[in-house]
Chains A and B, each alone.
Chain A
Amino acid sequence: MSRRSAPVVLLLACVLALTSCTVPRPRDDRPASTVPIDRAGVEQVLSRYDQVREAAAKLLDPKPLSTVESGAVLAIDTGSFDVAQRLSRGVGSDGTSDQVERLAVPRFTGYPLWFVVEVRDQAAKVNRVQVFERGSAVDPWFLVASPETVLSTRLPDLRERDGAALTVDPRSATGMSMSPQQAADRYAAALEDPSAAAARTIENDDFRAQMRTAARRNASLDGVRFGQTWKAEKVTHALRTADGGALVFATLERVDSYRVRDGIQVTWPDDSPQKALLESGVSSSGRLRYLHQVLVEIPGGSGRPRVIGQYGGVVEAEGP
């Protein structure tokens, strides 16, 4: 082939290549799946969430939140709005200054669909690791988990395939010391009884220390029989980390119960949620129910799980 004809052949090859790009072709025969949202869509979801949250915060009315939140987050926020109303103080708008730090969207073959977005709240000096879920095709995206980490906490790198984050079956312990559901259950068991066998399989992190300190303080009240129970809810959101571990979103239910001797009354500080819910305190028996959303990192291999973020609050009170 002469040198003169080489450019012509090259041109023809380019034309053919470009033409073939636009020619319809059969799709691969993989089962139907979807990566349900892209970054632009996430921005829209966050924007809508911020608008609704802003409107609810202005009125101190948690009802609009039900259009953008669901599950434990809605319960926790409703409780905090309730407390704010009773204490006549505002709640954080939770959004307008947020900046998306990271986005993880898994691939799904069926509903529910969900994605994880890490947003930085400069005002509160925290990172929120939020899970938005769409339960069915007719539902909007609901915020279902929102554990917070301090700004210095760096989330583990996540494993991806074909641009989609990989999820972990909550009951699978492959590559880890325990499954996500086991980690949540053992964490709850360790919080309830630090001497339990499960406690030795869990990292003794700051959250455990704080909860134990609060429980010891309540238990040390004279004339008060204090009890605390912890229980993990069913884990539904877990992402595979690059080291073969998992990043688990778990919700722990905590119930504090008080039995007070006659003539004694338990009260809380004026600006505390407990005071807002149990205005006159507990004089005979009382019960406070909390929800804590925790972000658990299970390292790959034989490492012990630890909590790296949490978001929670009192959601229910019974007294006096």
Chain B
Amino acid sequence: MARRLAWPLVVVGLLIALAGAAVMVVLGPDSRFTTGPHAVRTDGVAVVTAPDVITYRGLQVDVLVEVPVNKPVFVGLGNTVDVQDYLAGTRRLEVTSFRAPWTVRTAERRGRPALPGAPTALDWWIADSAGLGGASISTTLPDTPVSLAILAVGASDLSGLRVTFAYGVRGGFGLGLGALLVGLGLAWSGLLLRRGPSVATAGPRRPWRERDAGAQELGEEVEVVEEEVYVFVDEHGVEHEITAEEAARLQERLAADAPDPTSPDPTSPDPTSPDPTSPELTDPEPDTSVAIATETGTGTGAGEVPPPAVVYVFVDEDGVEHEVSEEELADYELADDEHVDDAPADDGRRDG
């Protein structure tokens, strides 16, 4: 499940990181994209955006308007209903479309040559500023339809108007940086998921990871396979894992070595009843210590049981044992030719 999420996480992370980087590059450290100054040709008293020109909200907008010879000028952002009513009867240059960075379409609207009232006396501007030779506003576009108006104050006009426009997101550079880091983090997380769990995370509580960590997937259910393991314990108390075939052979030998059931030995266990000391093949870990003892004790006495294979060993001067074949025996001097029956009951090995 987690691995299935890995690639989408990487892709989404990279996309977010790219978007963040793009925002950082476009906006720059001041979080704004600035264009201008642009000349706006008009000799009227008002330049205003049409109702549907400003369609974004949450955008940080900075507008600087400049007029020559220190003429008084006003710039304001207001609800479209207010601005349209205010300028409805006034001759104005209406911005009918705007596309970033600065593609503007305008239309002349007829009307009275003067404003119906001083813009500075109105209380419904969302942001406004007035000044001699220039004025600027800096505001965030609200979630209501708004229009921008550049107005001449007093008896002046807007000839020679130049507009510098900047827009961005407050703290946009930081947001871009954040998006970059978040995206990279997501991508990294995806890669980690893709690689699978680390050794450090695989603990004794999840033994299946150790067995087949590469094939397991995080979150998947593990099928538990029960496995029978056959073990015999030699006379030194050391456990040896044996195969099922070896266990079967061993059981056959035990059966052959068992005393005649017709003359039961009171000291021997009842072979028909489960005996904790007899080999129990259905037991995953049958206790074979008695069986081994019986085997070693009987030696070759049982005709059906083949004699154990003789292993010849050469011990070098360092005490290290080396197994040698019967053909190679001629090259060695026999140090001990004791018969297997007399040898210590281990696994039938002879030293050479």
Q: CB-defined interface of A149-176 with B at 8 Å, one 1/0 digit per residue?
A: 0000000000000000000000000000
Supposing A26-B55, A27-B56, A27-B145 touch, asked if A137 and B182 sit within 8 A by C-beta, the answer is no
For residue B58, CB closer than 8 A to chain A, the reply is yes
Complex-state Cα separation, A8 to B24, whole angstroms = 24
Indicate the member of A5, A36, A136 with the most B CB atoms within 10 Å.
A136
**Chain A binder among B82-90, B288-296, B297-305, B339-347:** B82-90
* Chain A residue at minimal CB-CB distance from B54: A27
When C-beta atoms are compared, the residue in chain B nearest to A111 turns out to be B85
Q: Which residues in chain B, 75-96, are within 8 Å of chain A measured between CB atoms?
A: 79-86
Asked whether A24 and B189 contact (CB < 8 A) given A32-B51, A34-B82, the answer is no
**Residue contact A24 to B141, C-beta cutoff 8 Å:** yes
A8 engages B189 (CB within 8 Å): yes
The verdict on B218 contacting chain A, using a C-beta distance below 8 Å, is yes
State the CA gap A2–B59 with chains docked (Å). 39
Q: Is A108 at the interface (CB under 8 A from chain B)?
A: yes
Q: B186 touches which one: A12, A33, A108, A137 (CB < 8 A)?
A: A12
Stretch in contact with the other chain, from B167-175, B244-252, B259-267, B273-281: B167-175
Considering only CB atoms, which chain B residue lies closest to A9 in the complex?
B189
Distance in angstroms from B338 CB to nearest chain A CB is 63
- Check A90 for interface membership: any CB of B closer than 8 A: no
CB distance from A29 to the nearest CB of B (A): 8
The answer to whether A210 has its CB under 8 Å from any CB of chain B is no
Number of A residues near B (Cβ < 8 Å) is 31
Q: Are A25 and B56 in contact (CB under 8 A)?
A: yes
Instruction: Evaluate contact between A19 and B143: CB separation under 8 angstroms.
Output: no
The docked-state distance in angstroms from the alpha carbon of A108 to that of B178 is 40
> Are the C-beta atoms of B145 and A24 separated by less than 8 Å?
no
Bound-state CA distance A137–B169 (Å) is 31
B-contact 0/1 string along A261-299, CB 8 Å cutoff: 000000000000000000000000000000000000000
Is B219 engaged at the interface, CB distance under 8 Å to the other chain?
yes
A22 and B171: CB pair below 8 A? yes
Instruction: Flag whether B255 is at the interface (Cβ < 8 A).
Output: no
B180 to chain A, nearest CB (A): 11
Task: Please determine whether B116 and A138 come into contact, CB atoms closer than 8 angstroms.
Answer: yes
Is the Cβ of B144 less than 8 Å from the Cβ of A22? no
A1 within 8 A of B: yes
B84-A19 in contact (CB<8A):
no
Q: Which residues of B contact A29 (CB under 8 A)?
A: 52, 55
Query: Do the beta carbons of A109 and B81 come within 8 Å of each other?
Result: yes
**Given A8-B189, A32-B51: A138 in contact with B79 (beta carbons within 8 A):** no
Q: Which of B52, B122, B145, B178 has the most CB of A within 10 A?
A: B145
User: Which residues of chain A are near B55, meaning CB under 8 Å?
Assistant: 26-27, 29
User: Do residues A34 and B57 form an inter-chain contact, with CB atoms below 8 A?
Assistant: no
CA distance A137 to B2 in the complex (A): 61
Which chain B residues border A10 with CB–CB below 8 Å?
none
The winner among A19, A25, A111, A113 for most chain B CB atoms within 10 A is: A19
**Contact between A19 and B178 (Cβ–Cβ < 8 Å)?**
yes
List chain B positions with a Cβ less than 8 A from chain A. Answer: 1-2, 5, 16, 51-52, 55-59, 79-86, 116-117, 121-124, 141, 143-145, 169-171, 175, 178-179, 182, 185-186, 189, 193, 197, 201, 218-219
- Chain A residues with CB under 8 Å of chain B are 1-2, 5, 8-9, 12, 15-16, 19, 22-27, 29-34, 36, 108-111, 113, 136-138, 140
The 6 A-B residue pairs with the shortest CB-CB distance, nearest first, are A138-B117, A137-B86, A32-B80, A32-B145, A24-B59, A137-B85
* Seed contacts A19-B178, A136-B85; 10 additional CB < 8 Å A-B pairs: A12-B186, A22-B58, A22-B171, A23-B58, A24-B58, A32-B51, A137-B85, A137-B122, A138-B86, A138-B122
